[in-house]
């Protein structure tokens, strides 16, 4: 499906339904005419100045998503990229405005200026105290007579919403907003155009091109360019913005806006790049990265700056109701955390024990002797290396046997755990490491091999997720340890392991490990190589004990 | 540029830089080895249980974006879709864990189970109180022995983070989390695969297909399907989820997750569809829509449900530090707001005034008489209908002249404003409506035509954005009203209008209106048609007055 916007006859209305449903009853909508929708706070306090904004849709979450405590009182939403009707705007103003009056905020586009403008005048003619401010923050075209209003408008929504919530007067808010508007600068770039529902996508850019200085309606940017890396594109935009702002010591808030089609990781990376540019030295507050003023699915971003003063700082930092506002954070370069060392420096004191040395040697020799046999088995149901995995572990154990704490059970299990995680590849190394670590912990408390190994197996099952019957080495370990726990002889334990291993040849579905990708036919009659190796290990143990 | 992830040699590290830079110093990072990064809170309180989570990257904002007050203490981030190393996990645990212990939360994938598992066991061996919980919430495959962990894991991050922040013990948190984990169910769908950086995109889906029951690593879903509308896809997923949850009266929280590649408007629309399904009747809390657990740029979504109890309700609703958490809202279907009527029902009392009737008639006649001439002018620099626009307005005025309040200046201006907005198309209708509305307001106060019209012009300039010299009708209106304000004769006013109109033929750049898209050559020597029409109007007035 090329877009989930297909086959929708009323995209804007439905999108607004989504905003309302997500708001927890904090906003509601009302229909005005077939071409426009209004979203308003459900907790309007008419003793405070109402903030009305809006414009064409396609910029979600703007503007409906910013309706709520501390931001917009009502958003008037036209069709995609089309200004709402005068009646829709007037209706919004009349719904939310009381004695404190209303500030109407529009982005600088002719349609919005006129329709919101006439609605404002009509509201005034009806006796309401209303003013309109026009925001033109786009610096793409130098000395443009009418710079477009883009994502920087959000600074104004935030400032006006904050002041209104605090109970400031309409004239104070309008004055502050007009002053702040003069210090807002935005610039955007995208690596592709946006798809307007119902229209063919306009293909303007080659695969290695980006567009700079674009608006939020899919209109062409001022320039098509190529950059070897995204970082260089970010550097270029940062430079252009640095040139556009006054060369003084003004501090700025920076808003990083995803134009709608960048993934979260892309957005985060470009923002990280931006924070390394010299432009960031002028910045005290950061907002985003987040999708705030989008151009449908445009894979691009815009950077907006707002000259700060104390009032603006306070206004931008204050928390608000709408979830779409990501909050403003103080720019802060934290020192890297220095973590405690995880290098396992525990030096086990080597100690000797003839029986333990004999048993380990016998088990290791058996693993090495059966390397090819187990590999052949694995070649039928896996990747043919299980024998080598066990043999490698065995060779390591033999090579290091003089350094092992053979006379100390708990330490020996710990040493084996470390050996498994460091020298045995793949999942089995980690699984044995987990089993021996669990066993060591239990041995410390209980000083019993049977209990320790059973507990180790339990821990391995818990983390590994396989259980008896899943066609893994557990099918040999578990019956062996069960017999062990009943105090039976090593031969009987070995027989149980062997029986368990042979039973795996009848299991035609593997629920864990690599064999789980194979079908019944491939598995039938073939022992699980891990289980077979375990049987060999217990048989070697039996040879030493009985 | 196909992706802003190109040419990056350390995507994950850079993405984490972005998360740290956006956090306002609330999180920091530390390097462990070349393959993993850890992000941790900078305000760790070791008297509280630490919450450690993570896994492969590519799921941004998960997991680093959820590090902060009330959620995760540290996130361990592997390479894209690859589990982090055991040392990285252990390092994270050691950094944030104190006497209260640590809960490790992993999504159910073998690599994460084993690596986080062994690290947990190692932490325990070092004397720390640590436990690991594994979340498998995916219901795509019925009775799967090991259901995958997907976006439902976020419920667990939220619950554990809330309880830890409150000071609950590790065992209480682990018990609550394991109980909650049994009541979490997730299902996803996408209209395309994701693009893994450095790999060719796998094209699995035709343009009209979607995939259902997919994981978050680009792995194939359980089914490829076609639906005539996105709404039917949502209905299908909702039905599958309804079948997966127990048939009882349990209430649920619902989390709507953007898998990374849907635009905001798409996401909002699908969420609105979902809220209309019968599944929504089981839901008390909603979280999202938002990108929370993504699969890079996958254009799809997942729906997660979490069975609620009082503790979970409280935990999910509580506010948290990380901006990536969109908050949980009580599901609420607000009543539609009924707006005050904006239908302009003001009935002006018709009144007569011979002079006014004569003037209006003369002006209207002139507009009609010059219709073709002005249209011809507009054909050269616009779309050829300016003459008709004025003539249509004139015909309306003549047809309705007996209903007009001719003897009441303010009301007459209001009536003309309404006539312009209702009967004159395009921007000019709105502009005249604004001018007459402003003039009416001024006339009410001052009772002077000159003052009223000048103020009306000012208001028109303010909203319309054009000024004298921009090659619009203002170039004729403004000089005429200036002469009017000096008390000069109607002939002199008309001359000023004509001179202004003729001057527009020398202006080779239009700064407003449709002519602003034309070049110098096209404009040279051609009067602006709007200004020419204004000159004709003032000449008609002069014929009546002088």
Poorest-pLDDT segment among A75-79, A180-184, B3-7, B220-224: B3-7
Residue B2 lies in a domain: no
Predicted local distance difference test score (pLDDT) of residue B9: 67
Predicted local distance difference test score (pLDDT) of residue B515: 67
- pLDDT tens digits for range A332-375: 876 777 778 777 667 789 999 999 999 999 999 999 999 999 99
Query: Are the beta carbons of A115 and B334 separated by less than 8 Å?
Result: no
A286 lies in the same domain as A374: no
> Using CB atoms, which residue from A28, A437, A512 is nearest to B336?
A28
Poorest-pLDDT segment among A42-51, A507-516, B201-210, B290-299: A507-516
Predicted local distance difference test score (pLDDT) of residue A1: 63
User: Rounded to a whole number, what is the distance in Å from the CA of B485 to chain A's nearest CA?
Assistant: 24
Using a CB–CB cutoff of 8 Å, tell me whether B95 touches chain A: yes
Predicted local distance difference test score (pLDDT) of residue A492: 96
User: Rounded to a whole number, what is the distance in Å from the CA of A262 to chain B's nearest CA?
Assistant: 7
Chain A residues with CB-CB distance to B336 below 8 A = 28-31
Q: What is the number of structural domains in chain A?
A: 2
Q: Answer yes or no: is pLDDT of B166 > 80.
A: yes
Query: Are the beta carbons of A269 and B323 separated by less than 8 Å?
Result: no
Q: Is the backbone peptide bond immediately before B289 cis, with ω within 30 degrees of 0?
A: yes
* Window A:450-479, CB contacts with B under 8 Å: 459, 462-465, 470
Predicted local distance difference test score (pLDDT) of residue B423: 79
* Best-predicted range by mean pLDDT (A87-96, A380-389, B5-14): A87-96
Using a CB–CB cutoff of 8 Å, tell me whether A514 touches chain B: no
Using a CB–CB cutoff of 8 Å, tell me whether A133 touches chain B: no
> What's the rounded Cα separation, in Å, for the pair B75 and B92?
8
> CATH no. for residue A530?
1.25.40.340
pLDDT band at B32 (very low <50, low <70, confident <90, very high): low
Cβ(A305)–Cβ(A252) under 8 Å? yes
Residue B69 lies in a domain: yes
Cβ(B305)–Cβ(B350) under 8 Å? no
Residue A93 lies in a domain: yes
Query: Are the beta carbons of A21 and B271 separated by less than 8 Å?
Result: yes
How do beta strands B252-258 and B300-307 pair?
antiparallel
B62 lies in the same domain as B150: yes
* Window B:102-121, CB contacts with A under 8 Å: 108, 110, 113-115, 117-118, 120-121
- pLDDT tens digits for range B20-30: 999 999 999 88
pLDDT band at A270 (very low <50, low <70, confident <90, very high): very high
* Best-predicted range by mean pLDDT (A31-45, A279-293, B132-146, B370-384): A279-293
- pLDDT tens digits for range B457-500: 999 999 998 999 999 999 999 999 999 999 999 999 999 999 99
Q: Answer yes or no: is pLDDT of B8 > 60.
A: no
> What's the rounded Cα separation, in Å, for the pair A466 and A36?
57
Using a CB–CB cutoff of 8 Å, tell me whether A191 touches chain B: yes
Query: Are the beta carbons of A269 and B462 separated by less than 8 Å?
Result: no
A193 lies in the same domain as A52: yes
DSSP string across A269-302: HHHHHHTTSGGGGGEEEEEEEE-SS--TTB-EEE
> What's the rounded Cα separation, in Å, for the pair B212 and A43?
40
Average pLDDT of A532-545? 94
pLDDT band at B33 (very low <50, low <70, confident <90, very high): low
Using a CB–CB cutoff of 8 Å, tell me whether A61 touches chain B: yes
Predicted local distance difference test score (pLDDT) of residue B382: 82
User: Rounded to a whole number, what is the distance in Å from the CA of B255 to chain A's nearest CA?
Assistant: 10
Which DSSP state fits B260? B
Contacts of B276 (CB under 8 A, 6+ apart): none
* Best-predicted range by mean pLDDT (A377-381, B75-79, B256-260): B256-260
B310 lies in the same domain as B455: no
B406 lies in the same domain as B507: yes
Residue A418 lies in a domain: yes
pLDDT band at B337 (very low <50, low <70, confident <90, very high): confident
Which tokens hold the place of B53?
């989570």
Which tokens hold the place of B175?
């018990």
Q: Answer yes or no: is pLDDT of B219 > 90.
A: no
Cβ(A365)–Cβ(A409) under 8 Å? no
Closest by CA position to B84, among listed B133, B130, B117:
B117
Residue A178 lies in a domain: yes
User: Rounded to a whole number, what is the distance in Å from the CA of B282 to chain A's nearest CA?
Assistant: 15
The number of residues making up chain A comes to: 546
A305 lies in the same domain as A363: no
Q: Answer yes or no: is pLDDT of A35 > 60.
A: no
- pLDDT tens digits for range A442-480: 999 999 999 999 999 999 999 998 999 999 999 999 999
How many CB atoms neighbour CB A485 within 10 A? 14
- What are the φ and ψ backbone dihedral angles of A141, each rounded to 5 degrees? -105, 120
Beta-carbon contacts below 8 Å between A and B: 368
Chain B residues with CB-CB distance to A228 below 8 A = 7
Closest by CA position to B56, among listed B78, B36, B29, B40:
B78
Chain A residues with CB-CB distance to B141 below 8 A = none
> What's the rounded Cα separation, in Å, for the pair A241 and A251?
14
User: Rounded to a whole number, what is the distance in Å from the CA of B488 to chain A's nearest CA?
Assistant: 30
Query: Are the beta carbons of A441 and B124 separated by less than 8 Å?
Result: yes
Residue A345 lies in a domain: no
- pLDDT tens digits for range A305-327: 999 999 999 999 999 999 999 99
Chain B residues with CB-CB distance to A438 below 8 A = 121
Which DSSP state fits A78? E
> What's the rounded Cα separation, in Å, for the pair A468 and A504?
10
- pLDDT tens digits for range A475-527: 999 999 999 999 899 999 999 999 999 999 998 877 766 666 667 777 888 99
- What are the φ and ψ backbone dihedral angles of B225, each rounded to 5 degrees? -140, 165
Exposed / middle / buried, residue A350 (Cβ in 10 Å: 0-12, 13-18, 19+): middle
A374 lies in the same domain as A272: no
B311 lies in the same domain as B420: no
Say whether the ipTM exceeds 0.85: yes
Active-site amino acid positions of A: 217
Chain A residues with CB-CB distance to B323 below 8 A = 290, 326-327
Answer with the residue of higher pLDDT: B145 or B252.
Answer: B252
Q: Answer yes or no: is pLDDT of A8 > 80.
A: no
pTM (predicted TM-score): 0.92
> CATH no. for residue A247?
3.40.50.10440
Q: Answer yes or no: is pLDDT of A132 > 80.
A: yes
Predicted local distance difference test score (pLDDT) of residue A199: 81
Predicted local distance difference test score (pLDDT) of residue B442: 93
A46 lies in the same domain as A176: yes
Which tokens hold the place of B515?
């002519």
A128 lies in the same domain as A33: yes
Chain A residues with CB-CB distance to B233 below 8 A = 1
pLDDT band at B381 (very low <50, low <70, confident <90, very high): confident
Which tokens hold the place of A247?
């060369």
Predicted local distance difference test score (pLDDT) of residue A443: 94
Percentage, residues of chain B above pLDDT 70: 96
Predicted local distance difference test score (pLDDT) of residue A33: 62
Residue B395 lies in a domain: yes
Predicted local distance difference test score (pLDDT) of residue A209: 94
Enumerate the β-bridge partners of residue B329: B286
The range of the structural domain enclosing residue A458 comes to 354-545
Residue B198 lies in a domain: yes
Using a CB–CB cutoff of 8 Å, tell me whether A238 touches chain B: no
Which tokens hold the place of A515?
């064999």
A316 lies in the same domain as A401: no
Query: Across all residues in chain A, what is the average pLDDT?
Result: 92
Answer with the residue of higher pLDDT: B99 or B2.
Answer: B99
Q: Answer yes or no: is pLDDT of A6 > 70.
A: no
Active-site amino acid positions of B: 217
B444 lies in the same domain as B527: yes
Query: Are the beta carbons of B270 and A21 separated by less than 8 Å?
Result: no
What is the CA angle A490-A494-A500, rounded to 5?
A: 145
- pLDDT tens digits for range A188-239: 999 999 998 888 888 889 989 999 998 899 888 899 999 989 999 999 999 9
């Amino acid at each position: 499906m090329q877009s989930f916007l297909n086959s929708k006859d009323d995209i804007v209305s439905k999108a607004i339904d989504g905003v309302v449903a997500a708001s927890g009853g904090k906003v509601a909508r009302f229909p005005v005419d077939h071409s426009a929708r209004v979203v308003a706070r459900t907790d309007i306090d008419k003793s405070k100045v109402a903030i009305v904004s809006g414009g064409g849709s396609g910029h979600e979450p703007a503007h409906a998503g910013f309706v709520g405590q501390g931001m917009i009182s009502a958003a008037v939403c036209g069709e995609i990229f089309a200004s709402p009707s005068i009646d829709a705007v007037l209706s919004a103003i009349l719904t939310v405005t009381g004695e404190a009056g209303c500030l109407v905020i529009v982005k600088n586009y002719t349609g919005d200026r006129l329709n919101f403008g006439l609605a404002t005048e009509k509201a005034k003619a009806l006796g309401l105290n209303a003013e309109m401010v026009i925001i033109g923050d786009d610096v793409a075209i130098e000395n443009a007579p009418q710079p477009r209003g883009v994502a920087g408008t959000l600074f104004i929504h935030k400032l006006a919403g904050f002041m209104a919530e605090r109970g400031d007067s309409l004239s104070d808010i309008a004055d502050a907003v007009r002053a702040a508007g003069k210090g807002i600068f935005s610039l955007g770039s995208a690596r592709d155009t946006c798809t307007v529902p119902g229209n063919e996508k306009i293909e303007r850019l080659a695969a290695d091109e980006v567009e700079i200085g674009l608006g939020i309606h899919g209109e062409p940017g001022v320039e098509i360019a190529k950059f070897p890396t995204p970082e260089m594109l970010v550097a270029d935009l940062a430079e252009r913005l640095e040139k556009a702002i006054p060369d003084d010591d003004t501090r700025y808030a920076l808003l990083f806006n995803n134009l709608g089609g960048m993934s979260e990781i892309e957005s985060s990376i470009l923002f990280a790049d931006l924070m390394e540019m010299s432009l960031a030295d002028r910045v005290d507050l950061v907002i985003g990265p987040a999708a705030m003023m989008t151009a449908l699915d445009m894979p691009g971003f815009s950077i907006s700056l707002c000259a700060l003063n104390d009032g603006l700082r306070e206004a931008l930092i204050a928390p608000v109701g709408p979830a779409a506002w990501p909050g403003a954070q103080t720019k802060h370069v934290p020192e890297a955390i220095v973590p405690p060392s995880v290098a396992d420096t525990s030096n086990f004191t080597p100690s000797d024990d003839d029986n333990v040395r004999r048993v380990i040697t016998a088990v290791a020799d058996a693993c090495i002797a059966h390397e090819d046999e187990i590999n052949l088995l694995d070649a039928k149901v896996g990747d043919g290396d299980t024998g080598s995995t066990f043999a490698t572990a065995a060779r390591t154990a033999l090579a290091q046997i003089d350094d092992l704490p053979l006379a100390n059970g708990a330490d020996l299990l710990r040493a084996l755990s470390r050996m498994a995680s460091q020298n045995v590849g793949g999942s089995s190394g980690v699984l044995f490491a987990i089993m021996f670590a669990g066993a060591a912990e239990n041995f410390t408390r209980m000083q019993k091999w049977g209990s320790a190994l059973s507990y180790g197996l339990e821990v391995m099952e818990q983390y590994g997720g396989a259980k008896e019957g899943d066609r893994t080495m557990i099918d040999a370990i578990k019956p062996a340890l069960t017999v062990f726990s009943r105090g039976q002889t090593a031969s009987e334990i070995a027989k149980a392991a062997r029986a368990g291993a042979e039973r795996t040849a009848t299991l035609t579905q593997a629920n864990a490990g690599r064999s789980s990708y194979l079908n019944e036919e491939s598995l039938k009659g073939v022992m699980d190589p891990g289980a077979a190796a375990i049987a060999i290990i217990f048989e070697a143990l039996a040879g030493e004990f009985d």
